[in-house]
Structure formats: structure tokens, C-alpha cells
Amino acid sequence: MTRIEMKTPLVEMDGDEMTRIIWRLIKDELICPFVDLKAEYYDLGLENRDATDDQVTVEAAEATKRLGVAVKCATITPNAARVEEYGLKQMWKSPNGTIRAILDGTVFRAPIVVKGIDPYVRTWTKPITLARHAYGDVYKNAEMRIPGAGTVELVYTPADGGEEQRVLVHEYQDAGVAQGMHNLDASIEGFARASLSYALDTKQDIWFACKDTISKTYDHRFKDIFEEVYESEFRAQFEEAGIEYFYTLIDDAVARVMRSEGGFIWACKNYDGDVMSDMVSSAFGSLAMMTSVLVSPHGYWEYEAAHGTVQRHYYKHLEGQKTSTNSVATIFAWSGALRKRGELDGLDELVAFADKLEQATVETIEAGEMTGDLVAITSNPNARKLDTEDFIKAVASRISL
């Protein structure tokens, strides 16, 4: 059998624990038998991050800037317990944080929708993809307790010595609290551009919402920037693709999302995205069925699963016990990266393979063959629990070129 050729290599970022085991299985059973895989390999496993003083993470991100498309395995973000467990030189930063800072992107999370794993919201028949702005607002705020009567003001002192601006926050008669937050035009623009590009790329409508009626300067700036970026860079392409940009107030958006059938991108401000992504992902059934892609405004794409390294299963695996760990989100990270590589390089066969891999995965679950986490929530009465390896082999048996 001849395997599908690639042109440009993918950036492959290996990771830790159970997902590292799954990574190997996916490559051996689902990718390499069908695709002549070209990849630049970076080992982001914790031992190698420690050995390289975390340089490997930086190199992997730089490679993504050079090659454009990366696929990443889940990795341990060290805490005190991990420093001890692995005898680390120091408590290295979150690899995702390091990579995001270098690529400057927006993270999109989308559920994988399968018959028999039903969303808790009856009307949701298509995925809802959440795009969260990952800069500023309450996550970089300044706040204080106000002990008693007094005045709190916002003060802006221009760097060029221009005229100071002051706004009264509140004249306190008694004790209370106060908070100051900020955001930046450039960051909001990047967020808007990434969200609108992703909508165009996936041919889905996009919603953006905030509270501009109440926050007439701060939230209104977000609304204006989205509109400006849409009008000047996207309107014509959206009309051609037959998709829509829709703005509404955040509370109206929440009400509409609950009644919708899904199938759109929901761009959220930082706090809204934090809260709503947990609501949307749990309502769709399982974190193990959620993919995540970092899209940079400069045209870099990094695909991964939304879950972690599934440590508890890994320890069982190390003890020689069978595990039933769900590999679906990691499979979709690979298919997402291969499809994007195929699109960028004009390789129709590679794009078609990505589709087949996803179809085979969905068909396997719909046939009742699934891992334990899904057996526990499925409405399919004939569901059968497979172990980690057998699930991946069941998917492989359904792929033909």
C-alpha cells in the first residue's frame, strides 16, 4: 500500500504520562500506516524540559513560527509535588503559557459531537466553539479594600507630560472594595482578527457579545474594534462564504446560545470565556471529547486536546493494569493539524485522510465501541468498554484509503 505524501513537516510536540502513551499508539496505529509522516520532533516531556532548561519548549514554539502548523500532546505543568516527583531543577512554567506568549494567539475549544453522547442541552445538534480572549481585564487587575470613608479615582498620567485625566470611581461613606482593570487596543484587535479568521476558515457564523450598554467606554471599545476589523478586513469574504458576524449583549447571547442548535463560534471576553467554556464543555458531555486549537493572528496553528495528561490512569498503566483512556481529543488534534497542513500545501489526499480519520473515530463510538468515560454517559444501550489500545485499534480497522 502506498502512503500519503506530505510536503512541509508538522511540528510535533510530545508530552507526558498517559497522553504520551496514547501519542505513540496514535502514531503507530492511525497515522504512520497511512501517511508518510514528516514531522520535526520536539520532546516536551517533563524530563527533557528539565534537561534542556525548558529551551525545548521555546524551540518548539519557534519551529511553529517557521513551519506554521503544530500538534501538541498534553504536558505536565509542574507544581511542588512534581518538582519532587521528577527531581526538577526548578518549577518550570506552563508549556502552554510559554507557547502562547511566543505565538500570541487565541484559543478555540470545540466539542466533538457524536450520536449517543448527547449534550445536556437538547437543541444542541452541532458543536459550539468557544473563543476566549486571553489578555487583561480582571485577570490583570489592581484591587483594594477600602477601610472607610474617602474617595477613589482613576488617574491617567500621560507619558509625554500631557494633561492628567481623572474619573471619580466612588465617594465612600463607609468601608468597601474597589478595582481597576485594563485592556489594549492591539490585543483586542488580535483577538477579533483571530476569531473572525477562524470563523472564515471553518465556515461558521461568529457571535461576539459584551455589555456595551452598561460599560459605555470599556466594553464599547471591544464592540467598536470587532466591528472595525470586521468591516475593513472580513465583510466581503464573509458575504462570499455565506456566513455572518453577529453582535449582541452578553445576557442576550447566553439566552440565545441555550436555544440555538449550535454550529457557530462564540467569541468571549476573558472572564465570560473562562466561565462559559466550562459550561459549554461540561454540557457537551466530556472534557475528553474537546479539542483545542491556538490560532495566531500571524497564521500559525497549534492543535491539542483540551484535557491534561490523565495522571491517575498513567499510574495504573505503570502498575501493569489495563486502562481505558479516551484518545479522541488527541486523535482530533492530529487530524486537525494534518488537515491544516494539507490545506496549506494543497494536498487533497492529506485533507481527505484527516476527514477519514475523524469519521472512523466517530463511527467507532457510534457502533458502541468506546472507552469507559463514555460508556458511563452514553445513551447507547449496546455500548461496550474497550481498553486504551483496543479503542485505537478499533478506529484503525475502520480506516481505508
**Segment 356 to 385, residues that bind ligand NAP, using CB under 6 A:** 373
Residue 10 or 374 having the CB closest to ligand NAP: 374
Cβ at position 134, least distance to Mg ion in Å: 12
CB proximity list for 215: less than 8 A, separation 6 or greater: none
385/301 Cα distance (integer angstroms): 34
**Segment 93 to 122, residues that bind ligand NAP, using CB under 6 A:** 96
Q: Which does 96 bind (CB under 5 to 8 A by kind): Mg ion, ligand NAP, none?
A: ligand NAP
Work out the angle between the directed axes of helices 270-283 and 250-259 (0-180°, nearest 10): 10
Q: Which does 274 bind (CB under 5 to 8 A by kind): Mg ion, ligand NAP, none?
A: Mg ion
Binding to Mg ion by residue 185, rule CB under 5 A? no
Site size with ligand NAP, rule: CB under 6 A? 17
Residue 52 or 311 having the CB closest to ligand NAP: 311
396/288 Cα distance (integer angstroms): 19
Residue 280: how many other CB atoms lie within 10 Å: 25
Nearest to 224 by CA among 212, 233, 236, 235: 212
Cβ at position 254, least distance to Mg ion in Å: 15
Q: Which does 373 bind (CB under 5 to 8 A by kind): Mg ion, ligand NAP, none?
A: ligand NAP
**Of 100, 223, 307, 341, which one interacts with ligand NAP (CB under 6 A)?**
307
- Residue located via cell numbers 481505558: 324
Cβ at position 94, least distance to ligand NAP in Å: 7
23/43 Cα distance (integer angstroms): 12
Q: Which does 106 bind (CB under 5 to 8 A by kind): ligand NAP, Mg ion, none?
A: none
Residue 361 grid cell:
473515530
DSSP 190-248: HHHHHHHHHHHHHT-EEEEEE-TTTSTTHHHHHHHHHHHHIIIIIHHHHHHHT--EEEE
SS3 annotation, 17-86: HHHHHHHHHHHHHHHCCCECCCEEEEECCHHHHHHCCCHHHHHHHHHHHHHCEEEECCCCCCCHHHHHHH
344/253 Cα distance (integer angstroms): 34
Residue 183 or 323 having the CB closest to ligand NAP: 323
CA distances from residue 209 to 171, 227, 231, 272 in whole angstroms, order as listed: 31, 12, 17, 9
Q: What is the number of H-type helices and E-type strands within the chain?
A: 15, 16
Q: Which does 310 bind (CB under 5 to 8 A by kind): ligand NAP, Mg ion, none?
A: ligand NAP
Cβ at position 77, least distance to Mg ion in Å: 15
Residue 4 or 44 having the CB closest to ligand NAP: 44
User: 335, 357 in Cβ contact below 8 A?
Assistant: yes
**Segment 262 to 301, residues that bind Mg ion, using CB under 5 A:** 274, 278
**Of 288, 293, 294, 350, which one interacts with ligand NAP (CB under 6 A)?**
288
Residue 96 or 291 having the CB closest to ligand NAP: 96
Q: Which does 312 bind (CB under 5 to 8 A by kind): ligand NAP, Mg ion, none?
A: ligand NAP
Residue 1 or 80 having the CB closest to ligand NAP: 80
Q: Which residue has the CB atom at the shortest distance from Mg ion?
A: 274
Residue 75 or 98 having the CB closest to ligand NAP: 75
Nearest to 362 by CA among 395, 324, 334: 395
Cβ at position 100, least distance to Mg ion in Å: 16
**Segment 45 to 74, residues that bind ligand NAP, using CB under 6 A:** 74
Residue 260 or 323 having the CB closest to ligand NAP: 323
Dmax (CA) for the chain in angstroms is 80
190/340 Cα distance (integer angstroms): 21
Q: Which residue has the CB atom at the shortest distance from ligand NAP?
A: 308
Binding to ligand NAP by residue 309, rule CB under 6 A? yes
Cβ at position 373, least distance to ligand NAP in Å: 4
User: Which residues here bind Mg ion, judged by CB under 5 A?
Assistant: 274, 278
User: Which residues here bind ligand NAP, judged by CB under 6 A?
Assistant: 74-77, 96, 287-288, 304, 307-312, 325-326, 373
